[in-house]
Amino acid sequence: MRNSLAHGRRAALRAVAWQAAATLLVALPFLVQGVDRALAALVGGGIVTAAGLLAALVALRGEVAPAGIALGRLLAGLVLKWLLVAVALIVALAALQLPGLPLLTGVVVAMLALVLVHSIKQ
């Protein structure tokens, strides 16, 4: 059965692994410009990766559920993900004063990695 919860969990873990790898790869060029810029790229991509993992855990927890409950879990995971991303970006920019461009580059690359991994047929 291709639409099982186990398949969804494996797909979510695969997406997280791709996002983490893409985040590490985007941080390397920023290392030449300084450790703070590489750290900002890592934080940006790490925020999206961690939030995606949290959303997957919320959406795919428990057993098979009726459609309404499954949709509710999915929406709750997405709302939680984007709230976490927004709050973490504000903290990274305002409180930690990380450079903005590397931070946002890490965010964008992690999101593009998610699109890429979901476009590859498994």
Half-sphere exposure of 99 toward its Cβ, with a 13 Å CA cutoff? Answer: 17
Q: Which amino acid is at 51?
A: A
Report residue 62 as tokens.
Answer: 């428990």
Rounded Cα–Cα distance for residues 41 and 63 (Å): 36
Question: Taking the domains of the chain in order of start, what are their residue ranges?
Answer: 5-119
Rounded Cα–Cα distance for residues 33 and 13 (Å): 31
pLDDT of residue 8: 75
Read off the pLDDT band of 22 (50, 70, 90): very high
Report pLDDT digits (tens) over 33-73: 999 999 999 999 999 999 999 998 988 887 777 888 888 98
Go through the chain and tell me how many residues it has: 122
pTM of the model: 0.87
Give the start-end residues of each E strand in the chain: none
pLDDT of residue 116: 92
Which of 27, 93, 84 has the alpha carbon at shortest distance from 50? 84
Does the structure show a pLDDT above 60 at 1? no
